A and B are shown apart, each in its own frame.
Chain A
C-alpha cells in the first residue's frame, strides 16, 4: 500500500546532541512537509519541499534543517535539541497545489515522538 513512513517512531536524544528524523513515501508525491506538534496543540508547519524547492516558514528556528535527497525521502535535522523541542514531528506529503488545482490534500505519516533529556 502506498504510504508515508516515519522512522523511528520514538526517538530519545540528549540536550544539545544532534538528531535526525526520517520520512519516506511511496506515493510519488511532489511535496513533502515537516510539522511540529506539541501536546494538545495544532500541528505547526516548519518547512516544506516542493520537488527540490525548499520553503522555510518565517518563524522556524535555525536549529531546524531539512534535506530531501530524492523524491521519496526527506530528513529533519535538529542541530542542537533543547528541552523545548520535545514534541511529535509529523511528515506529510501531497501531490502539489499546482497539479491539484488548489484542492491538495495531505497524507500524514504516524509521526516521531522526540524526547529530549
Chain B
C-alpha cells in the first residue's frame, strides 16, 4: 500500500525563488529518499536521509526529516527552469530489510524563466 503523501500536488514559481515540497508517511522507516522525474523519463535519485538524521544538504537541495511527525521536506533554493520536474519522496520501511521503496504521489514543480 502506498505510504507517502506529498503536498502540494503542484507548485509553480519564478526562477530564483525557493521551492518547498512536503512528504508525510505512515510507518517507521529506515530511510527516506527523494527522486526527480523529468517529463516522460525515468527517476533520478537526489538525496537520501537516514532515520537518525534530521537535516541533509546537497548543493541547492536541503532535506529535513522529522520522525516524530513522520514527515520530510525538500527545499530547492534559487530554482532554475531546469528544475522543472516531478519530485517524489520514497520511504524504505524499517521492517523487512528488502530495500523496497514506497513512493508518494509526487509534487509537480514548474519553474518559470
Seen from chain A, the residues whose Cβ lies within 8 Å of a Cβ on chain B are: 4, 6, 31, 40-45, 48, 50, 55, 88, 90, 92, 94, 96-98, 100, 102-111, 113
The answer to whether B103 touches A97, judged by C-beta atoms less than 8 angstroms apart, is: no
Closest CB in chain B relative to A79 CB, distance in Å: 24
* B40: Cβ under 8 A from any A Cβ: yes
Residues of A within 8 A of B42 (CB): 4, 6, 90, 92, 108-111
- Kindly list the 8 A-B residue pairs having the minimum CB-CB distance in the complex, ordered from nearest: A97-B99, A108-B42, A104-B99, A42-B103, A108-B43, A102-B30, A105-B45, A110-B42
Residues of A within 8 A of B33 (CB): 105
User: How far does the alpha carbon of A48 sit from the alpha carbon of B101 in the complex, in Å?
Assistant: 11
Q: What total of chain B residues lie within 8 Å of the partner, measured CB to CB?
A: 26
User: How far does the alpha carbon of A2 sit from the alpha carbon of B106 in the complex, in Å?
Assistant: 27
User: How far does the alpha carbon of A106 sit from the alpha carbon of B97 in the complex, in Å?
Assistant: 15
* B41: Cβ under 8 A from any A Cβ: yes
B91-113: contact bitstring with A at CB < 8 Å (1 yes, 0 no)?
A: 01000011111011110100000
B26-44: contact bitstring with A at CB < 8 Å (1 yes, 0 no)?
A: 0000110101000011111
Pick from B4, B35, B43 the residue with the most CB of A within 10 Å: B43
A-B contact pairs, 15 of them (CB 8 A): A31-B99, A42-B4, A42-B103, A42-B106, A50-B98, A88-B40, A92-B42, A96-B99, A97-B92, A97-B98, A102-B30, A102-B97, A103-B48, A108-B44, A110-B41
Supposing A43-B103, A97-B97, A102-B99 touch, asked if A90 and B2 sit within 8 A by C-beta, the answer is no
User: How far does the alpha carbon of A97 sit from the alpha carbon of B31 in the complex, in Å?
Assistant: 12
